[in-house]
Amino acid sequence: MMQLIVHPSDELPIYRQIMRQIVEAIAGGRLRHGDKLTSHRDLAEQLVVAPLTVKKAYDELELLGYVETQRGRGTFVCAQPPKVKPAEQRERLRAAARKLLSEAYLGGLRFKDAEEILREADREISSGRAASAGGVRREKEES
Amino acid sequence: MIWQLVRRDQDWRMLGWVTLGLWVGTLAGTVFSHPRVTAESLFSSALPNMLFGCLVLGFMFGANRRAALFQAALPIPARDLFVARLFSYVAGLWFVLLNTAAACYVAGSGPSIPLLSLIMAAAMGAVTYLALLSLRLRELSVPTWMAYALLAGLGPAGYLVLFPGPLFFFARPGIVLPVCAVTFAALLWRDLASMPVAFQVAPMDAVAERLAKSGAGLVRPVWWPVWQSALHGRSSLFLVMLAIWLAMGMWWIVPLMIASFVVNALVSLRWLWPLPVERRKMLAMILLAPLLLSAAVQVVWPAGFVRAVELVALTLLLISASLAMYKRNGLPAPARLVVQLLYFIVFLGPFAIVTVDAFHGKGSHSGIHAWSYTADYLAAHLAGVLPGHPAILIAGTLVALGALYWLVQRQFESADFVQFVQTRLDTTEYSSGLGA
Amino acid sequence: MNPVLEFDGIARSYKRGVPVLDGVTFSVEPGEVVGLLGRNGSGKTTLIRVAMGMLHPQAGSVRVFGLSPFESPVEVKKRIGYAAEDQVLPGHSTIAQMTAFHRYLFPSWDTAWERQLLERFHLDPNARIAKLSKGQARQVALLCAICHRPELLILDEPGGGLDPAARREFLEASIQLLNRAGSSILFSSHHMSDVERIGGRVVLLDGGKVFLDRPLDALRENLCVALVPKASAADSARLEREPGCLRARSSGEDWHAVFEGEPAAVSGQLAASLGANGIRCFQVPLEELFVELLGGQR
């Protein structure tokens, strides 16, 4: 269900890698609102990491508002996307944008090329959302 | 190159100790006895033991190994390794036996040493060893079972030659020596001719998978792995030697054999240390069987309850002493020194008594029988003091022995196993001998 | 909650004057996974043997489940599982005989799990242990250590000499134990990636003492390595005097120093204090932290 992978020697600690991948999955439409996340014990066995690490990732995501835990039933993706402080979000995006552009300029590309790349990424995300929505519709038709 | 290898051979360091033990044993046996036990009679009874001991010691320290693994990786021709090993061992053998002769000479019986017996023994030892090294001359070491088989076959044969009885005709030096010389030369020539360029680590032909069918049907008791482990490897060697020495009537070596067995079995059982098994059970399992069996044999043959009690007491004291040599938690340093001093007195006291007696022209026991002398003295004295019924005496002795066992058990329970067997663990790296 | 394992001022030396352990104090709480790290010879095996009651400390005390492993060895060992790199199971035994023996010693033995693990590892119960490969023998040792669902699992370099797949299987089995029994684990290892996977807390031994005792994530996120050009500081001691510096050492053309704090803040602080440019700071994985904190050339 959830295809995650972790690298122990990555820059981010394992729990942050799990958090980031879950957030990306939510953003990309692979995990939709109301979906149940794999239990932290099962995910721990799947990824071969400590169960407490997975639990920590889930707890942090809950604090940020991405998921919510219902006692006895499991952890679910929140119906509402979390309210991120706009100023924080702009700052994070500004840093990411700086990184993207400096890498592009280093490679000899220009601003126009970076713009084109952004448009392509936008298309991919939208089609991804549509595909998973379509997939669910097709499942509903077949069942 | 051969000389370089011989010089570096590990087993020379044991040679010093063996030789020292030889001199001390011979001198102690003869000098402190009155009337003087002749070195000749001592020699002829000691000789087969020494020969056997040399061979066995050799196995323990890897004589069945033609070269160490790290030597096999160096640019040394196999022939050099082979000759160096052969030379080391045979030279060591002759060194030990010549020292024995010298010790007996010094101990005062003069030139009437049966030198020819000695040379025959050395010659046979050399041929045996060469025969062993010649088996399957392709691999780094001779398979252990082959070594056992050869020992089992040639040992008794050698003994019969030296103490022939009905085979007297064949035991003359005139026959044995030339036969040994010719055999040695023939084997050596054949080996040098068919020497491989380098030794292999494993046999060429893959061994067929011997299925452990034996395990499948049998219902074995749950404690089976423990006994199997205790008896496999080095420790069983001490049991074999124990049996041989008992059979020869030299019971005073038995305590040392049992104590060595216990230490070696403990090393083999180190997988058991982290498991929830009480230490007293462990001790009972490895100590009681050999101890009680030896005592039973002693009572029946050669002679008497007193000797059996002496054997058990000495064994327990020896184990207790070796446990006490290491710092016990809670025992402050002065108390530890007192305990060690006490053991010193117990083990060497009887020698002192006998020496003093001999000096004064009294007593008729050789130094080796010092403890028997002490035991007999104590027994006679006690029988005089306590009410005469032998049953009470026996019961009292058993209670005393039980108390001694309890002491050993207490020490065992609080002993530092890792430190206690540390020296044994270290030597397993050097020798490939008969299972580590 | 009482800790399952408590060391208090443990000291032990083998040769006079050369302390291997010199006052080690830390504890393991129920459900924790603690990684014991240190260079070869830093006393990890010694400490683990003290916990198992196999070695007396010369000073200090150890309590396991509140009991002393020297006074109540059998009670303590019934609740512990132990597997070590140098712990050799008897070769002439078959696997079935070993597990039967363990089943007898540990009343809480889980036979179903044993069968499951034997299948997963492709082990034949009638095989003799001496005929197994090193990895398989270790798997048997691990099986014997975990199938009775111990409250505390002690592993002394479980992955030593094993191939990555075998190490991964080891970890999987350990995580299964954590899930089923909520056990605590104390393990020493040189494979930092394994420590990063299952370690919750890390204890670093250096010089016979506990140098660092922190949750792993805090270690990764709150420590950074600063690369300082050689010219900016006369010697490593100058760097070590900076507030927040844990260790500094020479490496190639730079000084490498481990600091507490965010990389940006630390590089700012150093630039101001040393008056130097070209200082870069990074957060690094555990293996790099290990090398920077315990490596040579200081």
What DSSP string runs through chain C? Answer: ---SEEEEEEEEEEETTEEEEEEEEEEE-TT-EEEEEE-TTSSHHHHHHHHTTSS--SEEEEEETTB-TTTSHHHHHHTEEEEETT-PPPTTSBHHHHHHHHHHH-TT--HHHHHHHHHHTT--TTSBGGGS-HHHHHHHHHHHHHTT--SEEEEESTTTT--HHHHHHHHHHHHHHHHHH--EEEEE-S-HHHHHHH-SEEEEEETTEEEEEEEHHHHHHHEEEEEEEGGG-SSHHHHHTSTTEEEEEEETTEEEEEEES-HHHHHHHHHHHHT-S--EEE---HHHHHHHHH-S--
Asked which of A74-83, B291-300, C117-126, C252-261 is least confident by mean pLDDT, the reply is A74-83
Whether B350 is covered by a domain: the verdict is yes
- Give the one of C176, C200, C285 whose C-beta lies nearest to A52's C-beta: C200
Predicted pLDDT of residue B430: 35
Range scoring the smallest mean pLDDT among B114-123, B352-361, B378-387, C156-165: B352-361
pLDDT of B347 reads 65
| A–B contact: 3+ Cβ pairs < 8 A | no
Most confident of B171-185, B242-256, C131-145: C131-145
pLDDT tier for residue B429 given thresholds of 50, 70 and 90: very low
Contacts of B267 in chain C (CB under 8 A): none
In terms of domains, do B227 and B180 share one? no
Handedness of CA C142, C144, C149, C154 (dihedral sign): negative
Rounded to a whole number, what is the distance in Å from the CA of C292 to chain B's nearest CA?
Answer: 33
| Distance in angstroms (rounded) separating the CA atoms of residues C74 and B280 | 11
Provide the pLDDT confidence category of residue B158 given band limits of 50, 70 and 90.
low
Judging contacts by C-beta atoms under 8 Å, the chain C residues touching residue A14 are: 196-197
Of residues C77, C89, C104, nearest to B222 (C-beta) = C104
Above 80 in pLDDT, residue A72?
yes
DSSP secondary-structure letter at B232? S
**A67 Cα to chain C: minimum distance (Å):** 21
| Closest Cβ opposite residue B276 in set C77, C93, C98 | C77
Which residue in the set B222, B223, B416 is minimally distant from C56, CB to CB? Answer: B416
Same domain, B85 and B166: yes
Residue C22: pLDDT band (50, 70, 90) is very high
pLDDT attached to residue C198: 92
* pLDDT of the residue at C48: 94
- Return the higher-pLDDT residue of B373 and A15: A15
B324: left (phi over 0), alpha (psi -120 to 50) or beta: alpha
Residue B126 identity (one-letter amino acid): A
* Residue C222, pLDDT score: 92
**Single residue among B168, B202, B236 that ends a domain in this structure:** B202
Closest alpha carbon within chain B to C124: B212
Beta-bridge partners for C62: C7
B433 falls within a domain: no
Do residue B215 and residue C102 have CB atoms under 8 angstroms apart?
Answer: no
B262/B246 Cα distance (integer angstroms): 18
Give yes or no: residues B198 and B231 share one domain: no
| pLDDT at res. B415 | 81
Is there a contact between C52 and B417 if contact means CB atoms under 8 Å apart? no
Cα–Cα dist B262/B298, whole Å: 20
For the purposes of burial, counting CB atoms within 10 Å of the CB of C297, is it exposed (0-12), middle (13-18) or buried (19 or more)? exposed
Structural domain that includes position B246:
223-427
Mean pLDDT, rounded, of chain C = 90
In a domain, B289, yes or no: yes
Same domain, B193 and B229: no
Class of C5-207 per CATH? alpha beta
Q: How far is C-alpha C129 from the geometric centre of its chain's CA atoms?
A: 27
pLDDT at position C215 over 70? yes
Q: Which band of pLDDT confidence, cut at 50, 70 and 90, is reported for residue B63? A: low
State the average pLDDT over residues B95-101. Answer: 75
- Partnered with residue C225 across adjacent β-strands are C258, C282
User: Does the bond joining A8 to the residue before it have cis omega, within 30 degrees of 0?
Assistant: no
Give the pLDDT band (50/70/90) at residue C196: very high
B92/B232 same-domain check: no
The answer to whether residue B251 is domain-embedded is: yes
Residue spans of the domains in chain C: they are 5-207, 218-294
Task: Identify all chain B residues contacting C105, using CB atoms and an 8 Å cutoff.
Answer: 275-277
Q: Measuring CA to CA, which residue among C179, C188, C177, C194 is closest to residue C81? A: C177
Are residues B312 and B267 both part of a single domain? yes
Among B3-12, B96-105, C180-189, which range has the highest average pLDDT? C180-189
Strand partners for C227: C256, C280
pLDDT at C110 over 90: yes
Under the banding of pLDDT at 50, 70 and 90, the label for residue B350 is low
Mention every residue, 6+ apart, whose C-beta is less than 8 A from residue B290.
Answer: B239, B242, B258, B261
pLDDT of amino acid C38? 94
Q: Cβ–Cβ of B274/C82 closer than 8 Å? A: yes
CB distance B410 to B324 below 8 Å = no
- The size of the A-C interface in CB pairs under 8 A is 58
**What is the structure's pLDDT at C103?**
92
Is B212 domain-assigned? Answer: no
| pLDDT on residue B337 | 73
Chain C residues whose beta carbon lies within 8 Å of the beta carbon of residue A10: 285
pLDDT in tens, B171-218: 666 777 888 888 889 888 888 888 877 777 776 666 555 544 444 455
Beta bridge partner(s), residue B287: none
C218-294 architecture in CATH?
A: 2-Layer Sandwich (3.30)
C175–A13: do the CB atoms touch at under 8 Å?
no
The tens digit of pLDDT for each residue in A20-60 reads 999 888 887 888 888 889 999 999 999 999 999 999 999 99
Number of domains chain B is built from: 2
Q: Do C80 and B226 touch (CB under 8 A)?
A: no
Cα separation of C240 and C260, whole Å?
12
**Considering CB atoms only, which of C77, C88, C127 is closest to B275?**
C77
**At B164, which amino acid appears?**
P
